[in-house]
């Protein structure tokens, strides 16, 4: 699964630490998601989408090989 989390974070003026604190995870988790090394749970994906006021599909998306 790919994402544009880093782009959305920049648009909303969040640091990795700010986003992590807002959704209750570590900064390292945000970093891993941005590098596509960690696939978030459904609940975590929904929390991020709600925070950014966007549909989940605008932040996270499947590649053909996923």
Listed by start position, the domains of the chain span 2-53
What is the pLDDT, as a whole number, of residue 64? 76
Sequence-distant (6+) residues with CB within 8 A of 30 are 5, 9, 16, 19, 20
Rounded to whole angstroms, the Cα distance separating 58 from 65 reads 19
**2 has which bridge partners?**
61
> How confident is the model over 21-42, as pLDDT tens digits?
999 999 999 999 999 999 999 9
Q: What CATH number labels 2-53? A: 1.10.260.40
Rounded to whole angstroms, the Cα distance separating 27 from 18 reads 8
Sequence-distant (6+) residues with CB within 8 A of 63 are 1, 2
Average of per-residue pLDDT values in the chain: 95
């Amino acid at each position: 699964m790919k994402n544009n989390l880093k782009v959305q974070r920049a648009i909303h003026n969040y640091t990795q630490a700010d986003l992590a604190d807002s959704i209750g995870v570590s900064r390292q988790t945000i970093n891993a998601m941005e590098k596509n090394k960690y696939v978030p749970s459904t609940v975590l994906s929904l929390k991020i989408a709600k925070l950014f006021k966007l549909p989940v599909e605008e932040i996270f998306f499947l590649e053909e090989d996923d």
